[in-house]
Amino acid sequence: MYILGINNMHDASAALTCDGKIIAAAEEERFTRKKHMVGFPYHAINYCLSEAGITIRDVDLVAVSWRPWVLRTRILQAVKPLLFSGKVFMAKTSRGMGQMKKEWLELFTMRRLIERHFGNGKFRVRYIDHHLCHAASAFFVSPFDNASILTVDGAGEEDTTVFWKGEGTKLTRIKAIKLPHSLGQFYAAITSFLGFKPQADEYKVMGLASYGKPAFDDYFRREVLTLKRDGEFHLNPHFIDYHLARQGIFLPSTIDVLGEPRRQGDEVTSIHQDIASSAQKLVEEAIFHSLNYLHKGANNTDNLCMAGGVAFNCVANGKIFESTGFQNLFIQPAAGDAGASLGAALYLYHSHSDKPREYMMNNAYLGPGYSNRQCEETLNSYGLSYKELSEKELCARVAREISDGKLVCWFQGRMEWGPRALGNRSLLADPRRKDIKDVINLKVKQREAFRPFAPSLLEERSHKYFYNGVPSPFMLYAFNVRHDKKDEIPAVVHVDGTARPQTVNKEANPLYWNLIKEFETITGVPVLLNTSFNVQEPIVCSPEDAIKCFMRTDVDYLVLNNLLVSRR
């Protein structure tokens, strides 16, 4: 049974499953080269069908990750501001009308859209609750037979946080927190207040938070966040309004407490660091409050799955093991809205089949891959010379160049699913060099100096570098680096002594594992600095994307499969 999952909302994506196994999954932005795409994911769907070698006629079901007719709570939340603020009412209704004309209209005409682009088919279209899609995207590919599940995001149709129980192929909804009490929208509004782009740059706020102190913690606890019984929480919607914040407008009550908002390009000051730190602490307290209820009061299991955009908060994720009773945690690599397309497909399969789960996600390599011939043809079209090496020669040469301080764009195999570069679309460097962060920012990334870079290390060495050495294959946890290792890998240790590791398993990515192993043989350090292969754009997808990006930078080497390109 082929099931095509579609998300046409924020971070549009498509995923294709066959009998409960994932064949392909990709975000639309990788093909259009426009970050956080919204709209019908034509290119992602086309890729999924091509990867499986099928047409739309072979698809049995189409699963859409949203129920567009569930509007009651959203309508109420839009109308309520009329009682106290015309600005807020206009902000909410104008955004809602814009969505109605585009993505919401697409939802109601999904079958027609698919057939217009891909021809007629026998498929049936099914619409699935958004948070149910999030829960399915995590639990059904996890290693757990039973688990507690928490889904947290800006908002689905009306829910912002949902508590679940997963058993075998069944998902049971326990309770939900509804709009306007949204951790995702609160964090996005703070992101805008700090001069960054909401629903895109929240990770910048997370990185900035480590530099500050939670100076506004007392106020937030007293006036903004209320922890209630049974794991629930309320947020004061009148402190900072998400819809106004998206337009760069902030209420006097916000400015009275936090001061004037930072504008894009302004200097980042200690006040901004403290605001970020305080917002991060508020989100952590609310998450841990909900998780402790799930662990103690709702489900009798030490296993936890999480999904939704807030599940990308790797700082909070890394503290779950010490702040709650959960011992085992699984978050799939596309935990945000992109992952909802996968969850929709998986949920529909398990609701139609009585077969047990067989698929477990142990890697994120679900996107397009390209042959050596395709890479060669693209290099030739750009007039670039290259050297073809064996795998052993390639790893030895690249590891040596990195150990000498060179930067390498590393393009291999199938593209990663989710926003993290995990060794197939990566920029690699030597983590032992403290100055390499400035070199990368100067030569490549053109980004804020406070943002950290991440380490990729051999999975079997993780416990030697981190106090919590649990596997982290998708780079979604921040852990404390052992004191005796901080000076060994300074380029990937954040200001607070943490790092966000990717633990590389030999079976999941043997080539990348061999490269890191070769670097260890040369240097004694089983770690590489790994950041995404892109410059102010989505992560590269095709060889042409890779070449264009490489040529815009001063990176020393480009590797396309086993083809080595030297800038010299």
Contact between 280 and 212 under an 8 Å Cβ cutoff? The reply is no
Q: Residue 274: which pLDDT band, with cuts at 50, 70 and 90?
A: very high
Q: Minimal CA–CA distance to 468: which of 327, 367, 364?
A: 327
What φ, ψ does residue 371 adopt, rounded to 5°?
A: -75, 165
Cα angle for residues 85, 202, 469 (degrees, 5° grid): 145
292-312 per-position pLDDT tens digit: 999 987 788 999 999 999 999
CB atoms within 10 A of CB 373: 9
Q: Above 80 in pLDDT, residue 21?
A: yes
248-270 per-position pLDDT tens digit: 999 898 999 999 999 999 999 99
**All structural domains of the chain:** 2-141+334-352 (3.30.420.40), 178-330 (3.30.420.40), 372-566 (3.90.870.20)
Query: Which residues neighbour 325 within 8 Å (Cβ) at sequence distance 6 or greater?
Result: 292, 295, 296, 302
Q: What is the pLDDT of residue 548?
A: 98
Segment 548-552 mean pLDDT: 97
Q: What is the pLDDT of residue 93?
A: 60
Going from the C-alpha of 187 to that of each of 31, 145, 159, 196, 314, the distances in angstroms are 28, 32, 16, 11, 14
78-95 per-position pLDDT tens digit: 555 545 556 665 665 665
Query: Which residues neighbour 282 within 8 Å (Cβ) at sequence distance 6 or greater?
Result: 186, 217, 220, 221, 224, 225
- CA atoms of 417 and 419, how far apart (whole Å): 7
- CA atoms of 538 and 524, how far apart (whole Å): 33
Segment 529-533 mean pLDDT: 98
10-20 per-position pLDDT tens digit: 999 999 999 99
Residue 459 per-residue DSSP state: G
Q: What is the enclosing helix (H) or strand (E) of 342?
A: helix 339-352
Segment 507-522 mean pLDDT: 98
Q: What is the pLDDT of residue 74?
A: 57
- CA atoms of 517 and 362, how far apart (whole Å): 20
Q: What is the pLDDT of residue 100?
A: 59
Q: Minimal CA–CA distance to 333: which of 357, 314, 359?
A: 314
Catalytic residue (one of 10, 130, 134, 272): 10
Mean predicted lDDT score pLDDT of the chain: 94
- CA atoms of 13 and 30, how far apart (whole Å): 10
Q: Above 90 in pLDDT, residue 520?
A: yes
98-157 per-position pLDDT tens digit: 665 689 999 999 999 999 999 999 999 999 999 999 999 999 999 999 999 999 999 999
Q: What is the pLDDT of residue 207?
A: 96
Q: What is the pLDDT of residue 313?
A: 98
Query: For the chain, percent helix, then strand, then coil, each to nearest 5?
Result: 40, 20, 40
Segment 480-506 mean pLDDT: 98
- CA atoms of 124 and 477, how far apart (whole Å): 38
Q: What percent of the chain has pLDDT over 90?
A: 88
Q: What is the pLDDT of residue 73?
A: 57
Q: Residue 447: which pLDDT band, with cuts at 50, 70 and 90?
A: confident
Which range, of 22-26, 75-79, 414-418, 558-562, averages the lowest pLDDT?
75-79
Q: What is the pLDDT of residue 430?
A: 98
- CA atoms of 434 and 479, how far apart (whole Å): 19
Q: What is the pLDDT of residue 72?
A: 63
Segment 521-549 mean pLDDT: 98
Q: Residue 567: which pLDDT band, with cuts at 50, 70 and 90?
A: confident
- CA atoms of 517 and 265, how far apart (whole Å): 41
Q: What is the pLDDT of residue 496?
A: 97
The more confident residue out of 69 and 541 is 541
- CA atoms of 323 and 291, how far apart (whole Å): 9
Active site annotation includes 10: yes
Going from the C-alpha of 174 to that of each of 234, 293, 402, the distances in angstroms are 18, 11, 50
- Residue 465 three-state SS: helix
Q: What is the radius of gyration, based on Cα positions, of the chain? A: 23
- CA atoms of 281 and 296, how far apart (whole Å): 22
Q: Minimal CA–CA distance to 326: which of 317, 334, 335?
A: 317
Give residue for tokens 């072979």. 58
Query: Which residues neighbour 413 within 8 Å (Cβ) at sequence distance 6 or greater?
Result: 365, 369, 424, 509, 511, 561
- CA atoms of 41 and 131, how far apart (whole Å): 20
Q: Are strands 225-227 and 170-178 parallel, antiparallel or unpaired?
A: unpaired
Q: Above 90 in pLDDT, residue 283?
A: yes
Q: Residue 442: which pLDDT band, with cuts at 50, 70 and 90?
A: confident
Q: Are strands 303-307 and 146-152 parallel, antiparallel or unpaired?
A: parallel
Query: Which tokens in the block code for residue 30?
Result: 């990788």
Query: Which tokens in the block code for residue 133?
Result: 């899609």
Q: Residue 445: which pLDDT band, with cuts at 50, 70 and 90?
A: confident
